[in-house]
Each structure stands twice: as structure tokens, then as C-alpha cells.
Amino acid sequence: MSRRTALRTAELVRSGELTAMEVVEEALDAACRLDPVLHFLAELDADGARRAAERVDPAGPLAGVPFLVKARTPPESPILTRLTAAGAIPIGWSTRARTGAVSLTFGWNGYEYTRNPWDLSCSPGGSTAGGAAAVAAGVVPLATGGDSGGSLRIPASFCGIVGFKGTYGRIPRPTGRGLGELTTAGFLAADLGDLIHATSLTTGPHRLDPTALPHWPVPPLDQRAWRVAYRPTLGACPPEAGVDRVIRQRLAECGVQVVDVPLNLAPTDEAWPVLSALDNGRGVTTAQVQRAREIRDHNNTALADLFTQVDALITPTTLTVAHGYDQHEQSIVTGDPCWTFNVTGHPAVSVPAGLSTGLPVGAQVTTPHGTDATALAVAQRIQIDLPRPPTG
């Protein structure tokens, strides 16, 4: 999926070969051309983007890099203020799932559903739908989002790009640490290096979230012989045969050692709704909280035991390839491998592993708490460079 990366764009702006205004106009043109087809914009802010381009410091590490902001993200969010301080320029807000929908794996701009650049009959996933569609289509190299149950990783998988949920607290949030501790802010990107640098620039404690993890410097990505465990599912539902086949084939050819290690996880579907209710101020009983805590503790211990024997756990990111954009009122079981790691708080990254029936398949890499660099290094080994999607 060849395109100019965010880091390359900033390098050209710093050298004077491009101006921030030229880069922004390029992104705005692409947005105006492709949004009527893909419907990824909740709102375009062309005037604001041009004003930002006029005053950007060309020496910034992301000088002139355009990005999209997930709709309803508070403007004081540390991920936004730190990204713009680095010279990145928001060009608008991307779609997300409609509030109260049965399925959150789609996007809605108020009158049209967001489409997948790989197949216009399909959803780009969600809830960070518009950001994923725009990144995959080459409109912007980066988009922001939050991940409570796969909202970054599911659309990354459906759209053939990269999505990363760091260890809980990796990027500070405007509301601080949640009672349920599910949601981690993060990025969607076309390039793993862009995602790593953007994550690093936005980490570290903030006055709105002083309990966030310490600043995370850009790590060297170790390329030793990784030992990994593979699980085609973490719940009751199996993956599509094509999804499982693509990931198994990729693991066989990418030079990692796949070992068979026992893993006994408790089901997540009892704990996640309780923790989500805590995060969102909804009432729960003491017994429900205690049970959610027991599940979280059990799974943390089971995963800690697993990671004494392997460097990483690999799963499909989603059990299916992208489903139809019009299935938004169905209860779709596809992101089950994701929400386990929101409950436990482990780092998890989705990278493209191949295509099934012409649609992207994402592989999810999970490693111990705090070992975000290991997750990204293993992901770098596994990922493949997909061709450009048909729309883009």
C-alpha cells in the first residue's frame, strides 16, 4: 500500500521541498473527491486546516502532516493538543458508529453509512470507521481514535491498515483514568513507523490525566527469533476459514516460531459490560463489579503464565473480513479477539496479514503489560504490504 508516510511528509516540509499549505490542500482535495463515495467525514474543517498550515512551525516532528479526529473527541484531549504541538494539522472529524446502534462496527455521517475502500458494499469497521476508511484510501496518513473494545483494531483489520491499543494508560485521556479502565486513546495509520512516532509524541502524564504512564520514547524494534502462540479464537465463535488460513500461512512464512502453549481464559462477555458501565457512569451492583474483577484477575494471571513461555500471542484481529455496511442493526460477532485485552489492559496491535476473498485480514499481536515495543516488533515481522484498495 505505497503512499507518502507522515514522517516523509514532515521531512519534506522541514527541508522546504513542500509547504504545509501544499500538503493540506492535497489532503483537502482528496477528502472532497473521495468523501462523496466513502462518506468518512462527519465534518470537514478546510478553513481551520488552512489557518493551521499558515502558522505551522516547519521544524516540528510532524510538521504539516494532515490527520482526522474521531467525531466527539473533546478538543482539550491530550492526543490532539500534543499532536498539533508537533506540527500535525487536523482537517476535520471522521465518522463513528451511531449512538445506540446494535452493532458498532460501522460509521454514520447523519445520512449515509461509511464505506470500505476495498469494497463499497462493505463496512470499514468501527467504531473509528471514518478514520480507517480515510487512511486506507490515502486521504490522510493518520487518524485518532479510542479503543474500548476494538474500536481501533477492528477497522484496522477491515481496511488493511495498522491500529494500536497501547498498554492501558499509554496515552493520557481528557477524563483521566476510568473506573473500568477499558479505553485507551490511539491511532490508525497506513505505516507502522508513523503510528509508533505519533504514539510516542502523545505519551506521558498530563494535567488532565496525571496517572498516565511515563513518556514512551520511540523504541528500536528488535528483530530476534520470536516465539509466539497462535489462537484462532479466544471465545466460543470460530473465525472464518479464510481468515484463519491467511494468518496461519503468514506465520509459517515470516520467520517466527509458533509453539503450542496452554491458555485458559475466562469469557469476557460477563466482565466487559460491567467495566464499560463503570467507565460511563451507569449503575452496577457490587456483585457484578466483584465478578468482573475476578475475570480480569484470572485472565491476567493466565496470560502472565503464557508469556513466560512465548514472546507474543497472535490471534485474528477479527473473526471475519469486512461485513456489509448495511448490517448495522445486526448483532455481529467479529471483534471477539479484541475486547479481551481491553479488560486486561495489555498492548495489542493489528497489522495486515493478507487478503481473503479480496478483503484484508488483520493479525493481532498481544504481549505482556508495558512491552508495547515487543508487540510492535513482532507486528512488524508479521505485517505485509497490501496493494492500494480499489477506491483511493
Query: What are 195-233's pLDDT values in tens digits?
Result: 999 999 999 999 999 999 999 999 999 888 999 999 999
Burial code (b: 16+ CB inside 10 Å, e: under 16) for 320-343 equals bbbbebebbeeebebbbbbbbbbb
Amino acid (1-letter code) at residue 351: V
Three-state SS for 295? helix
What's the confidence (pLDDT) of residue 326? 87
| Residues sharing a CB contact under 8 Å with residue 143, sequence separation 6 or more, in sequence order | 67, 68, 69, 70, 94, 128, 130, 131, 132, 134, 135, 187, 188, 189
Beta carbons within 8 Å of 239's beta carbon, 6+ residues apart? 232, 233, 316, 319, 320
Which pLDDT tens digit goes with each residue over 53-97?
999 999 999 999 999 999 999 999 999 999 999 999 999 999 999
Handedness of CA 73, 74, 79, 85 (dihedral sign): positive
Hey, is 292 helix, strand or coil?
Answer: helix
pLDDT of 100? 73
What average pLDDT does range 50-54 have in this prediction? 98
List 77, 123, 127, 148, catalytic entry: 127
Rg of the chain taking only CA atoms, in angstroms: 19
Query: What's the pLDDT at 315?
Result: 98
CB atoms under 10 Å from CB of 231, counted, come to 17
pLDDT computed for residue 2 by the predictor = 52
Residues facing 116 on adjacent strands: 119
Give residue 329's pLDDT: 66
Of 77, 103, 148, 151, the active-site residue reads: 151
Q: Is 151 among the catalytic positions?
A: yes
Residue the block writes with cell 446502534 = 101
- Fold exhibited by the domain 227-382: Amidase signature (AS) enzymes (3.90.1300)
Residue whose C-alpha cell reads 485458559 in the numeric block: 264
Helix, strand or coil, per DSSP, at residue 85 = helix
CA distance 122 to 386: 18
The HSE-up count of residue 272 (CA atoms within 13 Å, CB side) is 18
344 or 100: whose pLDDT is higher?
344
- Work out the mean pLDDT of the chain and round it to a whole number: 96
Sheet containing 66-70: order of strands: 41-44, 89-94, 66-70, 142-147, 184-189, 162-165, 348-356, 359-366, 312-316, 227-230, 257-258
Cα first-last separation, the chain: 11
Q: Which residues contact 281 (CB under 8 A, 6 or more apart)?
A: none
Q: Is 356 known to be catalytic?
A: no
CB 118 within 8 A of CB 358: yes
Does residue 70 have an active-site annotation? yes
The CATH number of 6-201 is 3.90.1300.10
- What does the pLDDT average to over 256-276? 96
Residue 20 CA, chain-centre distance (Å), reads 26
pTM: 0.97
Tell me the mean pLDDT in the region 27-44. Answer: 98
- In this prediction, residue 332 carries a pLDDT of 76
Q: Can you tell me the distance from the alpha carbon of 373 to that of 376, in angstroms, rounded to the nearest whole number? A: 5
DSSP alpha helices (H): ranges in the chain?
A: 6-15, 20-38, 46-55, 78-85, 129-136, 153-159, 192-201, 241-253, 272-279, 286-306, 336-344, 372-382
Q: Region 300-329: what's the mean pLDDT? A: 94
Contact between 201 and 216 under an 8 Å Cβ cutoff? The reply is no
- Cα separation, 106 vs 104, whole angstroms: 6
- 41-44 vs 162-165, strand pairing mode: unpaired
Return the amino acid letter for 179. L
- Residue 103 scores a pLDDT above 80: no
Determine the pLDDT at residue 327.
81
pLDDT at 101 over 80: no
- All three cell numbers of 79, joined, read 492526543
Domains in the chain: boundaries: 6-201, 227-382
- The three grid cell numbers given for residue 279, joined into one nine-digit string: 467507565
- pLDDT tens-digit map of 125-172: 999 999 999 999 999 999 999 999 999 999 999 999 999 999 999 999
